Amino acid sequence: MTDVMIHGDRSLPIYVQLENLVRDKIDSGDWAPGIMLPSERQLCDTYGIARMTVRQAISNLVAEGLLTRTQGRGTFVARPRLRQPLSKLTSFTEDMRDRGLLGSTRLLMQEQMAASPEIAAVLAIAVGAPVLQIQRLRSANGHPMALETSTLRGDITAPLRHEDLEHQSLYRLLEERCGVRMLRASQELEAGIAGEAEARLLEVAPGAPVLRIQRRSLVLWQGQEVLCEYVRSTYRSDRYRFYVELER
Ligand code: GLP
Q: DSSP labels for 25-64?
A: HHHTTSS-TTPBPPPHHHHHHHHT--HHHHHHHHHHHHHH
- Check residue 65 and give its pLDDT: 85
Q: Provide the residue range defining the domain that includes 38.
A: 14-77
Instruction: Compute the distance from residue 27 Cα to the ligand 1 centre, in Å.
Output: 33
107 lies in the same domain as 67 = no
If one residue of 231, 232, 234, 239 were mutated to test the ligand 1 pocket, choosing by the most ligand atoms within 8 A of its CB, it would be 231
Q: Which of 57, 77, 97 is the last residue of a domain?
A: 77
53 lies in the same domain as 151 = no
**Ligand 1 atom at shortest distance from the alpha carbon of 174:** 14
Of the candidates 195, 198, 163, which has an alpha carbon nearest to the alpha carbon of residue 178? Answer: 163
**Ligand 1 atom at shortest distance from the alpha carbon of 215:** 9
105 lies in the same domain as 203 = yes
If one residue of 89, 91, 107 were mutated to test the ligand 1 pocket, choosing by the most ligand atoms within 8 A of its CB, it would be 91
- What pLDDT digit, counting tens, does each position of 74-93 carry? 899 998 899 999 999 999 99
**Ligand 1 atom at shortest distance from the alpha carbon of 185:** 9
| Residue 160 φ then ψ, to 5° | -90, -5
Mark residue 228 as left, alpha or beta (left: phi above 0; alpha: psi -120 to 50; beta: remaining): alpha
One-letter identity of residue 220: L
Residue 93 Cβ inside 6 Å of ligand 1? The answer reads: yes
- Check residue 3 and give its pLDDT: 53
- Check residue 1 and give its pLDDT: 39
Is residue 5's pLDDT more than 90?
Answer: no
| Residue 107 φ then ψ, to 5° | -80, 115
* CB burial readout 14-46, b (16+ within 10 A) else e: bbbbbbbbbeebbeeeebeeeeebeebeebbee
Task: With cut-offs at 50, 70 and 90, classify the pLDDT of residue 63.
Answer: confident
Is residue 197's pLDDT more than 80?
Answer: yes
Q: If you take atom 5 of ligand 1, which residue's CA is the nearest one? A: 91
Residue 169 Cβ inside 6 Å of ligand 1? The answer reads: yes
One-letter identity of residue 108: L
Is residue 4's pLDDT more than 80?
Answer: no
- What pLDDT digit, counting tens, does each position of 35-60 carry? 999 999 999 999 999 999 999 999 99
Residue 71 is inside which H or E element, if any? none
Instruction: Compute the distance from residue 91 Cα to the ligand 1 centre, in Å.
Output: 4
| Residue 24 φ then ψ, to 5° | -60, -40
Of the candidates 202, 134, 201, 140, which has an alpha carbon nearest to the alpha carbon of residue 171? Answer: 134
CATH number at residue 187: 3.40.1410.10
- What pLDDT digit, counting tens, does each position of 91-128 carry? 999 999 999 999 999 999 999 999 999 999 999 999 99
Instruction: Compute the distance from residue 150 Cα to the ligand 1 centre, in Å.
Output: 9
156 lies in the same domain as 230 = yes
Is residue 7's pLDDT more than 80?
Answer: no
- What pLDDT digit, counting tens, does each position of 122-176 carry? 999 999 999 999 999 999 999 999 999 999 999 999 999 889 999 999 999 999 9
pTM: 0.84
95 lies in the same domain as 209 = yes
Q: Which of 52, 77, 102 is the last residue of a domain?
A: 77
53 lies in the same domain as 120 = no
CATH number at residue 30: 1.10.10.10
DSSP state of 116: P
The three-point CA angle 190-237-214 to 5° equals: 35
